[in-house]
């Protein structure tokens, strides 16, 4: 992977928790826009009460003029969601999400096409989508764009899902029923669990990206060090926090040359 891809993914992996999913998404896309010409991006998550996707993050376009929901079985977006594989929107006028917005007025925002569409998944099930313009530009670079989007989606999925679940809990007023660990700790555990499972077999099998040798190695080492410090370097406790067994933790400590005091 090019250095700018590795640097951007590393910065994203270290982005601290925010108050809500909307602010987290804006922070992530702001980081991405420092490395690539990203002038528009949108995040949708599945509405648990409706058979549709709802808007949970927006960058580059005013919320007032952007659709707040999206059909889950129509257009390229529907295909990407169902197949759990990234896709490309070539014509906004033929995509259900954008049809009305494009016809609404002459002042409709300029959204570049083609538009990349990446699925967000958890435990083998899709729960959301992220859309953004090509990072490199030109049809000949679409394969590289989709390759990077696949890695980005895999890295963001556990984080977005954690925020999503917390906000759902808050809305249903169920969060007071039992003591809860901090958001950072919960995000830490789930993110590393995703990392240790190589995030998504689709990424490795179909894109042949050396995740563990590049960005994931940085994230993995950082998470292990953080977990060990939180529990005063008690390996059994650290392993439980990370969602792995003690032998796996010891093997990875040896691999990354992490020494206990």
193-202 pLDDT, tens per residue?
555 454 444 4
pLDDT confidence tier of residue 90, bands split at 50, 70 and 90: very high
The average confidence (pLDDT) of the chain is 81
Q: Report the pLDDT value the prediction gives residue 44, as an integer from 0 to 100.
A: 97
β-strand partners of 118: 130
Whether 248 and 220 have beta carbons less than 8 Å apart is answered as no
Whether 48 and 108 have beta carbons less than 8 Å apart is answered as no
Q: Dihedral of CA 156/63/33/81: which sign?
A: positive
Report which DSSP code applies to 13.
Answer: H
What domains can you pick out in the chain, each with its CATH number? 1-177 (3.30.450.40), 178-261 (1.10.10)
Q: Report the pLDDT value the prediction gives residue 133, as an integer from 0 to 100.
A: 93
**Residue 120: phi, psi to the nearest 5?**
-110, 125
Min mean pLDDT across 32-41, 71-80, 117-126, 237-246 is at: 237-246
Of 209 and 96, more confident? 96
| CA angle (33, 35, 38) in 5-degree steps | 30
Which string of b and e fits 202-222 if b means at least 16 CB within 10 Å? Answer: bbeeebebebbebbbbebbbb
Whether 257 and 207 have beta carbons less than 8 Å apart is answered as no
């Amino acid at each position: 992977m090019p250095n700018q891809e590795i640097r951007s993914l590393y910065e994203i992996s270290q982005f601290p928790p925010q108050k809500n999913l909307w602010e987290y998404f804006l922070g992530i896309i702001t980081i991405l826009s420092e490395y690539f010409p990203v002038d528009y991006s949108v995040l949708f998550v599945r509405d648990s009460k409706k058979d549709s996707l709802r808007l949970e993050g927006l960058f580059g376009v005013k919320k007032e003029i952007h659709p707040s929901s999206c059909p889950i079985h129509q257009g390229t977006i529907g295909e990407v969601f169902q197949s759990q594989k990234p896709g490309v929107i070539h014509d906004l006028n033929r995509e259900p999400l954008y049809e009305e917005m494009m016809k609404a007025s002459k002042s409709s925002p300029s959204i570049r096409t083609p538009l990349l569409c990446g699925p967000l998944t958890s435990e083998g099930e899709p729960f959301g989508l992220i859309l953004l313009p090509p990072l490199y530009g030109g049809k000949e670079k679409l394969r590289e764009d989709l390759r990077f989007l696949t890695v980005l989606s895999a890295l963001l999925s556990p984080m977005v899902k954690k925020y999503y679940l917390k906000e759902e809990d808050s809305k249903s007023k169920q969060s007071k029923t039992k003591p809860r660990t901090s958001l950072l700790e919960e995000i830490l555990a789930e993110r590393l669990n995703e990392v240790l499972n190589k995030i998504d077999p689709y990424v490795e099998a179909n894109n042949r990206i050396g995740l563990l040798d590049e960005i994931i190695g940085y994230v993995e080492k950082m998470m292990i060090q953080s977990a060990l410090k939180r529990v005063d370097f008690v390996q059994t406790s650290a392993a439980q926090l990370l969602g792995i067994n003690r032998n796996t933790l010891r093997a990875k400590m040896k691999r990354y040359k992490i020494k206990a005091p």
